Amino acid sequence: MDSILFLILRRLRRPLILIIVSFAIAIIGLTLMPGLDDQGHPWKMSIFDALYVISYTATTIGFGEIPYAYSKAQRLWLTFSIYLTVIPWFYAVGKIITLLQDTGLRQAVTTERFAKKVRQLQEPFYILCSYGQSSNLLAKALDEKGMRVVVIEPQQERLNELELIDTRNTIPYLCADAILPENLERAGVLHPLCSGVIALTDDDNVNLAVAVAVKLMNPDLLVIARAERDDIAANMASFGTDRIINPYTLFGDQLAMRVHALGTYLLHEWLTGVPGDTLPPPENPPKGRWVVCGYGRFGKSVVENLEREQITTTIIEAMPELTGCDYCIVGSGTEAKTLLEADITNAVGIVAGTDNDTNNLSIVMTAFELNPKLFVVIRKNRRHNGRLFKQFNADITMQPTEIIAHECLAHMISPLLAQFLSLARGQTNDWANKLISQLVMTMGETVPETWAIRIDNEDTPAVIELMETGLNVSVQHLMQDPANRENQLELVPILLLRNNVPSLVPDPNTRLKAGDRILFCGSPATKSTLPSILNNTKTLTYIIDGVEVPNSLVWRWLEKKFKRKSHHTESA
Amino acid sequence: MNLEKVVFGFFIVLAMTLNFGFFIGDIDNASHHHAYELYAAIIVSLIATVLKFGDRTHVGAILLSTSLAADLQLIAAAILWAALNGTYDEASLTVYIVSLSGGALMANIISVVLLISETISQKR
């Protein structure tokens, strides 16, 4: 802010000096002009009166002739003074207005304000290096979860949208290019509370540049970057980008997960959703022969994953030589002829995976007419086409933006959640279904909150204190209602990490140890109740023993006395 | 030779000398201290202040602050004069005004000392 003030002062130097000089001449002249007072005695204006008269004259306010009617000489000088002072005055005012409208200066002011807002953040926050469709969703979800977000985005129109939406916390934003390290610094890469940087722009090179810059500036920071090209992804991995997201492989993966283990997929979607949302009923893709239209990055990933699940595919591709497709039917898939050639009538599913929304819709509509029993997977590229896709109501609508947002959330909520999800993939479908029914029983069908705690002096002082007195504190105790220990809180511990050894859905009777990390899944209300158990020795004692410990010294002393007395009488 | 430096030095020295001219004389004798001299001192001091705007060197910043200190006291003296003239006995009013201008003189002297020291430390 200092530099801006000095910039303004420097630019105003000339108009200010002009005003001072012209006023000085006008004032001194006015005091020298002979005049007459109301009694007709000779009178000269004092310096103070002259300053007053010139001030209201120069600013064109014009109160008239004060304190007495002026003589000819005074009027003559004042006429001259008007032209002398009014012009510099307007010059200065004009200069100030141009200065305020100066785009360079305004940019400097907004940038400085943004940097100040970021510096003043008191909570952990994430930096989003774009505000496109997936970042948009991500920002909304993080805000819903009460996490702070900072946005850098080079396009003003997208930021206008951000300005209009309702958020719980203010989201500081800057219209600038994240590729410049100084903008990253302003966004708080070096801020001690910054928890991570997320680069999800459409341009792989920008994401790469951001990831490199962040890892150089602050190597310990979490970096999640989107990369569609394999060489860029490898490059990112080489310097330790924490998570590289390729939406196409991700979707292929998820499709395979759906075919293979629907429960696991559902669990994944549920734990990374926006709290409060309900999940649509999932469709289980059928096994059999599928027709895949479009063999681009998306199609390739789908085919690869479907084949891994022993599903045969027939590929339709308009430009086979460009996409490196050896065995396929040439055509776009929008005409019935090509689809019949691919034997659509005997297929169980169709994937419309071209990068053109209109074509995708046309493909599935034609295919649906030929075979109404088809399982339809459609790729949606543009978010504003959402209405059309909703109207068509495909079995699975693949939307890169949502997939990216979910994947980012899994890593941002807690490192434990990402670990849990990767472990869950290794489990059977039955295991996942059982966990889901347990979760639904405990907290209903809306998307729950997921959060992690660590058993230590800072996070859970009460647990540590009671453990030091030799009491047994188990996971079960953290699941009881502090208002009535007979009731259960709406939460389920889904992962316990002890000495880096994870155990999925720990047994409630597990004894807690210092240094344990637990991932909970529960209703938002429970998330705010839990700290009262973890921080308050009295509450925790009540949960464990069912005894209310007196708060004040006097009551404690009385209780001790009373206990001893009853002890004596008992022994006697 | 740099015209900007000439103008700059001229105004700083003139601010001090005018201030000194007003200050010198019996402290309670109004006839030793002319209103126009105070007026000129204020104008020159204001110009000197504006000239220092935007100089981001360290010496520039100190010069600006000493100049602001001088302005403050000179303007306070002028306001006293304008406001209390005629309602107060002349000798004690003069003492107030002149002592304020004496404070401003100190600030102006520091300005000039800084200017001289900067000039001497100039290598070329």
A310 Cβ contact partners less than 8 Å away, ≥ 6 residues apart? A287
- Cβ <8 Å between A27 and B39: yes
pLDDT for res A53: 94
Let me know if residue A443 belongs to a domain: no
Examine the domain organization and report whether A275 and A396 are in the same domain. yes
Q: Which residues of chain B have pLDDT under 70?
A: 123-124
Q: In A180-279, which residue ranges form alpha helices assigned H by DSSP?
A: 181-186, 204-217, 230-238, 247-260, 262-271
Is B36 in Cβ contact with A28 (below 8 Å)? yes
A196 and A276 assigned to the same domain: no
Sign of the CA dihedral with B2 first, then B3, B9, and B12 last: negative
Residues A35 and A32: their CA atoms lie apart, in Å, by 9
Q: Answer whether residue A240 is part of any domain.
A: yes
- In a domain, residue A419? The reply is no
In a shared domain, residues A257 and A384? yes
User: Same domain, yes or no, for A258 and A347?
Assistant: yes
Q: What's A529's domain CATH number?
A: 3.30.70.1450
Whole-number pLDDT of residue A541: 83
With contact defined as beta carbons under 8 Å apart, do A512 and A455 qualify? yes
Q: pLDDT digits over A447-457, tens only?
A: 888 888 888 88
Strand A222-226, strand A243-245: pairing: parallel
Three-state secondary structure string covering A519-550: EEEECHHHHHHHHHHHHCHHHHHHHHHCCCCC
Distance CA A165, CA A157 (A): 13
A9 closest CB neighbour out of B47, B53, B78: B53
In the structure encoding, which two tokens stand for residue A342, read together? 């691919």
Residue A175 falls inside a structural domain: yes
Number of domains in chain B: 1
pLDDT at position A297, please? Answer: 79
Three-class secondary structure of residue A564 per DSSP:
helix
Q: Give the whole-angstrom CA distance, residue B103 versus residue B19.
A: 10
Radius of gyration of chain B from its Cα atoms, rounded to whole angstroms: 16
Residues A400 and A455 in one domain: no
Which of A6, A16, A20 lies closest to B56 in CB terms?
A6
**What is the ipTM score, two decimals?**
0.87
* Chain-centre distance for alpha carbon A557: 52
Residue A561 located in a structural domain: no
For residue A192, tell me if it sits in a domain. Answer: yes
Per-residue pLDDT, A572: 45
Do B47 and A46 make contact, defined as CB atoms within 8 angstroms?
Answer: no
Q: Which residues of A touch B81 (CB under 8 A)?
A: 48
Say yes or no: B54 contacts chain A, CB-CB below 8 A: yes
- Domain around B80: 3-121
User: Which CATH number characterizes residue A190's domain?
Assistant: 3.40.50.720
Whether A558 and chain B come into contact, CB under 8 Å, resolves to no
Q: How many CB pairs under 8 A join A and B?
A: 43
Spell out which residues of chain B touch residue A3, defining contact as CB-CB under 8 Å. Answer: 56
Question: What is the residue type of B69?
Answer: A
Residues A255 and A401 occupy one common structural domain: yes
Shared domain check, A259 and A401: yes
**Best of A5, A20, A30, A46 to disrupt the B interface by mutation (most B CBs within 10 Å)?**
A20
Rounded-to-integer distance, Cα B52 and Cα A209, Å: 43
Contacts of A25 in chain B (CB under 8 A): none
B85 touches A at CB < 8 Å: yes
Quick one: A91 and A205 in the same domain? no
The reply to whether A423 falls in a domain is no
- pLDDT over 70 percentage in chain A: 95
Task: Identify the domain containing residue A22 by its residue range.
Answer: 2-101
Identify any residues that bridge with A316 across adjacent strands, giving them in sequence order: A293, A329
Count of structural domains, chain A: 4
Query: For residues A213 and B114, what is the distance between their CA atoms, to the nearest angstrom?
Result: 44
Of the residues A16, A21, A25, the best mutation for testing chain B's interface (the one with the most B CB atoms within 10 Å of its CB) is: A16
Element (H or E) spanning B69, and its range? Answer: helix B58-84
Distance CA B61, CA B5 (A): 16
To the question of pTM greater than 0.80 for the whole model, the response is: no
pLDDT of residue A280: 62
- Which of B43, B45, B58, B97 is most worth mutating to test chain A (most A CB atoms within 10 A of its CB)? B43
Q: Can you give A112-138 as a three-state secondary structure string? A: HHHHHHHHCCCCCEEEECCCCHHHHHH
Closest to A196 in 3D by CA, of A133, A132, A142, A276: A142
Task: Render A233-248 in DSSP notation, one character per residue.
Answer: HHHHHHTT-SEEE-HH
Examine residue A570 and state whether it is found in any structural domain, yes or no.
no
Please indicate, yes or no, whether residues A131 and A94 belong to a single structural domain of this protein.
Answer: no
Which residues of chain A fall below pLDDT 70?
1-2, 274-283, 549-551, 564-572
Among A245, A261, A281, the domain boundary falls at A245
The predicted structure's pLDDT at residue A501: 87
Q: Among A229, A245, A261, give the residue marking a domain's end.
A: A245
Q: In this structure, what CATH number is given to the domain that contains residue A33?
A: 1.10.287
Q: Which of A6, A20, A28 sits opposite B54 (nearest CB)?
A: A6
